[in-house]
Structure 1
Amino acid sequence: MAPAITLAAEAPKLSAANTGFMLICSALVMLMTPGLAFFYGGMVRVKSTLNMLMMSFISLGIVTILWVLYGFSMAFGTDSGSLIGWNSDWVGLGNIGLTELWPGYTIPVFVFLVFQLMFAIITPALISGALADRVKFSAWVLFIALWATVVYFPVAHWVWGAGGWAFEMGVIDFAGGTAVHINAGAAALGVILVIGKRVGFKKDPMRPHSLPLVMLGAGLLWFGWFGFNAGSWLGNDDGVGALMFVNTQVATAAAMLAWLIYEKIRHGAFTTLGAASGAVAGLVAITPAGGAVTPLGAIAVGAIAGVLCAMAVGLKYKFGYDDSLDVVGVHLVGGVAGSLLIGLFASGKGQSTVEGLFYGGGLTQFWKQCAGVFAVLAYSLIVSAILAFILDKTMGMRVPEDDEIAGIDQAEHAETAYDFSGAGGGSARTAAAAAAVGGAESKKVDA
């Protein structure tokens, strides 16, 4: 009898379908940063609108350059001590072949790196919402560069890089609940504890100046999030990406409804801001969990996160920290909730066979999730606070109090978001001018 012949597994081949899908997903994730800018921009007062837009938008420039120079290598290069990666051939991205595939997948390295770049861009932009009205733009630019280097790139390696300690432990983070949202939310808390409150916090009204902008931003975020989440499977040959797409929609809907119900019971109204905030809370919570739960589990994750985040946004008034646009309440709390709920609702039928407590798997995965969540939270909070402290003591993080009161847009950008001088239209301006001239002539006669 002839000896059995063992055939080697066929090496992955480039898939045009998966490559095209991932490029579209990358573009969708890129759109999320301008969407975030509109979401945050509408939530601040008129005098801070442009600054808020720019604090998100500038991340597109800074992080892109850092990613090309060394960020991709630090996040996804060869592991060193389970803490950081490095690959000198990736520095500057000049030694990567155009058709070189990402190991184990059917997409080029360039496609993987540009998809991950968009995650790296939006994560520091998320922090900016907590710092509205009071941070020097120059200090913010330097903070982004430093924070991406010493916090985001290492944490991305821990969670997603081959050899990273959280990755090897089996911590599940499908698309960024830990690496993106907990990371950004904890950083926001660390910075605001250093720089302090806005002038007039808890005294002056600080209502959103444009709820339509908020809703536009939330809609763009929801739209782009399908690329953020479904694309994180790096293809859809086995249906997991499609499951994530469905769960993204389902959890977001559940969280929005849960937030509104809580708001109606607690405050007596269904608000537009509550609808937008609830949707974002659901998007945040399902990001780590969506590949591990069923659609019914996604409803549970979304509803729980919607209520928890709605409750959490009021903590800043109780504890006295000025989280301007509720980054801590939505992104930190939502990220923690979504990550930990994997340990309860993982079905074993999605991205892996891991089962949570409610599916007979015990608490093993829950404790793994706790390790990942609280390690990233502590590291990001402490290091971010240290960075803010150093910048504050050297160049100063805050604008002068007079500039904050008058408006940071004019002080930092020499612009305003809206030109009200011509709001009345041509005929109105002509009539106003004629009246002014008539008044001046009358004064001359009286004199």
Structure 2
Amino acid sequence: MKTHFIAIGGSAMHNLAIALKDKGYQVTGSDDAIFEPSKSRLEKKGILPGEMGWFPEKITSDIDAVILGMHAHQDNPELAKAKELGLKIYSYPEFLYEQSKNKTRVVIAGSHGKTTITSMILHVLNFHQKEVDFMVGAQLEGFDCMVKLTQENDFMVLEGDEYLSSPIDLRSKFLLYQPNIALLSGIAWDHINVFKTFDDYVEQFRKFVASITPGGVLVYNEEDTEVVKVVENAENYFRKIPYETPEYEISNGKVHLKTEMGDIPLSVFGAHNLLNLEGARHICRQLGVMDEDFYEAIMSFKGASKRLEKVEREDQGTLYKDFAHAPSKVKAAVKAFKEQFRNEKKYGFLELHTYSSLNPVFLEQYDHAMDGLDEAVVFYSEDALKIKRMEPISPDLIKEKFKNDHLKVFTNAEELHAYWNTLDKSQGVFLMMSSGNFGGLDLTK
């Protein structure tokens, strides 16, 4: 099968391209910019485009499938040529469904926790050498590629994202998967640039639950009131399995899960991660993994990339980075950090980087998000606001919306870096939350 990727360099797209190459497909692609690690990984597989840009001549009538990434625009010249030739054009999730429509599809959805839960499930299955196809949005220890597609595996585990499928398909990605087994971890307003109201956002999850195949299974977080409302109002038939935060304790700086089989020591921390773990356990049960085997495997799970991930520093300082940027994720990460490090001085840094997080209306969702930290810092770039064509935001507005007068607010990367360099990293613990990189800050030094 001959496939062509428009915007092959994306974090998800390049993984799918590699998976198809490994499956024996003929793969080509284009992009106007490709960064690491995508660049090296595509080059290693021999599918890195020879030059950057869009080349309509690459689109030929013998291509079986064109896969269109979100990074491309509706007026992309390669897309126009594909339409002209009448080629089959797939979004990323649409193509994944085509690859898995004859398998049992397990879809992990929710505003927060879905990457970690999917990673936990894959870690457990990998530990016990149970083969499944999968797609997950973060790099996981022990896996070379975060997409796997085979002919023979019976199950496919998919991280289900509520964001748009492609520039020409404005449905939420997870609506294309039609899960046989699903999990819903939580609902907290995000992607305000697409879903203008909270109800618009919740509607995507109502549709997701409605898309579960008849007689399927939904594992859901019963501690989330919005999730419970969606589940209780669903009209389609499926089996409902609720879960909640399990009992645990922290001793000698380590989290111990309290189970019928005794105390289970874990390598992750935070109540939200214990809640994620419980959801993963129920999904693994559906896949034939007994609780005893689940606990045996999960002890060695160190977390998904950039999810409360410990950074190895030259000075041995204690620093964790987290992809947290949405308000619910920031609050969960801060809560976990305060609970884990009760006696240390705690520094929290948050970069407001996304369209939603820089919107004055949405900023109200961050109220008290940084409370309880000894030093709390918020950084956003005035240049980023200009690039996004957004109105300026004052540091005072940030303090007002966060309801925290003690916040240190930086709008200039150089000033942030200067402050960072004054801190003794061997004293205290540091939580760095961003989907960006704090203006190029090196967290290892």
TM-score range, shorter chain: under 0.3
Q: Which one has the largest radius of gyration?
A: 1
Which protein has the bigger strand share?
2
Q: Which has the higher contact order (CA 8 A, sep 6+)?
A: 1
Greater percentage in helix = 1
